[in-house]
A and B are shown apart, each in its own frame.
Chain A
Amino acid sequence: MSLDMRHEAESTANTRIEPGRSYGFFTDTTLCIGCKACEVACKEWNQLPAEDDKLTGMSYDNTRDLSATTWRHVAFVEQMDQGPDAVMPGLQSRWLMMSDVCKHCDPAPCLEACPTGAIFRTEFDTVVVQQDICNGCGYCVPACPFGVVDLDEVDGKAHKCTLCYDRLKGGMEPACSKACPTDSIQFGALDDLIQRAHDRVDALHEGGRTDAYLYGAPDTPGATGGIEKLNAFFLLVDRSEVYNLPLAPTRPASRTAPAFGTGLAAFAGLALAAVALLKGRS
């Protein structure tokens, strides 16, 4: 290994990986061809076992969703009815392919829910589960607004994309984005990526693709309800639900105070009434 391998990402992603800076993914779905190289690269690098090989019958997607052992998932949206403003010619269904991944939210609902501190924010502003600490309480699972993190039945711990924390530490870009042959998955420093993504949307609009929009960048759908931004964000061309993404997710922790506060107030009110009712013998 030569010394310049320390900063491999400079030659593969034009980014120098430095602690203290925010990194993420910009997944441009208009460039995705559904080759699943990202899925394979992720499984290989992270040594993730295969899922049960069942046919789903839904288009060409047998992966189905993200799970404890699948951290990249390519969705195949096959649209037969394209409506009057169809972009594609006849005899061709419209394909929307999208490589889904953990969004590394900011703030991250799974992290805010984790009672053990197993989930933490790294020096690269990514969100990682520490396997030697997680005790499998499962609270991060319903906390996630995107259905990403899950517990593994075999080892009883929560797992999800680490944004290749080990590779970032070694100066390398994540496996999925490096393997992506069309640059649909772009890795980089977040400020660069957000700028690049806005430029891409503008270019698409100019070229007539006026349905392109960003999902998860600051002040766009997906970054709502107290979630400031998704460090892994997307460029979509149809409603987010079509890609199995909620249009307006919210930050779960914002509901802690209203629920607990109202509960305590109601309890206190009834306790006061009990003071009057529980007279004893008097």
Chain B
Amino acid sequence: MTRHDRQPDTWNGQSYYDQPPLKNPHWDWKVSGYIAVAAVSGAAQALSWIGSLRDRAAFQGARRNASAIGLIGSVMGAALLIADLKTPQRFHNMLRILRPTSPMSFGTYIFGLFGTSSALASLGELPAVSRYRPLRWITRLAHGGAAISGAGVATYTAALMSATSNPYWSSAPRALGAQFATSAIASGAAALALLERFSGRTRTARQLEGVAALASAAHAGATLCAKQRHQEVGLDEALSDHPGRRLDAADLLVAGALPLAAYAVDRATGGRSPTAAVVGSAAVLAGGWLMRHGILNTGKETARRPAAAFRVASPCNLPRTDKRRSWIRN
């Protein structure tokens, strides 16, 4: 082991003729679209369940809307996922096994559970079903199931992207989990708030906007953590000539500052600026999708760049337990 301990622990700029060190999946807007749709529908079901637990009558409208969002989201999500496969006629092979190391595998089951419970819960909105007590309780139980599996559907996608070798997706797993979760709650609340506004139910709309505002603030915090981590592992430097370097800032603006400002305007004017509130909710929804699509595409760019891939896969970025390997110079 003479030369081994001379390996420096950071990348020194060398590559193989600047060839991409990693490969990219064929994933496009269908995948980022699925991630966004899953987030909105999962969180909408969870929030409508919470609202219904507190005041079943007041959130009746929101519950119906969430039920519709859950159903449409499940159907749309499944269609997007199957359309994205390169051999779609074998989509059912996803159910051959359950692999805990693969978010794509266990996520399929969470999504299936969410779709099934959403469908069952939506039956509760039919008078023919809700008239019978046992059936009513089954649909309410299913609503709870949709809420809990909704939490999974909204967040497992962060694990799906983190559990790869892609430099951008994988560099900040905890921050990405928090980003997806906070953006999901904000988007679910914003979607329901918009529909409440359009139906003239201002009181519940404002409560949901409160949730969206809090989640947007939390989202800004999570994005700052991600930004910090991207800087630490050297991705900022690797993307210095690419718009992806501004993704975190754009996310902070569209999904953080803009909705917070819009909601604040509505509150400051004592609720006399419903337009501002609507703008805020729309910004939350747009920001959530932009963030997910931006992360997908920026990640693909980093996989093509030796400067990004080799920086991230440097010994200095290894988990601490690994750094004691004899061949790394200290």
Q: A and B from one assembly?
A: yes
B98, closest chain A residue (CB): A115
B301 to chain A, nearest CB (A): 13
* Size range of the chain A interface in the assembly: 35 or more
Proximity bits, A221-234, B CB within 8 Å = 1, else 0: 10011100000000
A139 to chain B, nearest CB (A): 5
Task: Please pick, from A138, A142, A156, the residue contacting B165 in the complex, using a CB distance under 8 A.
Answer: A142
Among the stretches B119-127, B166-174, B252-260, B287-295, the one at the interface with A is B166-174
Proximity bits, B24-60, A CB within 8 Å = 1, else 0: 1111000000000000000100110011011101110
Known: A112-B101, A256-B162, A258-B174. A278 touches B211 (CB 8 A): yes
Among the stretches A31-39, A42-50, A243-251, the one at the interface with B is A243-251
Among the stretches B2-10, B130-138, B237-245, the one at the interface with A is B2-10
A187 at the interface (CB under 8 A from B): no
Residues of A close to B85: CB separation below 8 A: 135-137, 156
Proximity bits, A189-223, B CB within 8 Å = 1, else 0: 00000000000000001000011110000011100
Task: Please pick, from A141, A148, A224, A275, the residue contacting B315 in the complex, using a CB distance under 8 A.
Answer: A224
A65, closest chain B residue (CB): B19
B199 at the interface (CB under 8 A from A): no
Contact (Cβ within 8 A) B99 A241: no
Proximity bits, B173-199, A CB within 8 Å = 1, else 0: 111111011101100010000000000
Task: Please pick, from B94, B159, B314, the residue contacting A263 in the complex, using a CB distance under 8 A.
Answer: B159
Contact (Cβ within 8 A) A243 B16: yes
B306 at the interface (CB under 8 A from A): yes
Contact (Cβ within 8 A) A248 B208: no
A82 to chain B, nearest CB (A): 14
Contact (Cβ within 8 A) B313 A145: yes
A208 to chain B, nearest CB (A): 11
Known: A115-B94, A213-B327. A263 touches B55 (CB 8 A): no
Contact (Cβ within 8 A) A211 B156: no
Contact (Cβ within 8 A) A244 B16: yes
B273 at the interface (CB under 8 A from A): no
Known: A135-B88, A260-B159, A266-B178. A65 touches B211 (CB 8 A): no
Contact (Cβ within 8 A) A210 B2: yes
A156, closest chain B residue (CB): B86
Contact (Cβ within 8 A) B50 A271: yes
Contact (Cβ within 8 A) B59 A280: yes
Task: Please pick, from A113, A220, A277, the residue contacting B163 in the complex, using a CB distance under 8 A.
Answer: A113
Contact (Cβ within 8 A) B94 A264: no
Chain A residues at the B interface, C-beta cutoff of 8 Å: 56, 58-59, 61, 64-65, 75, 77, 109, 112-118, 133-139, 141-151, 155-157, 205, 210-213, 219-221, 224-226, 239, 241-250, 252-271, 273-275, 277-282
Apart from A144-B165, A213-B7, A225-B322, list 4 A-B contacts with CB within 8 A: A134-B90, A138-B25, A142-B169, A247-B313
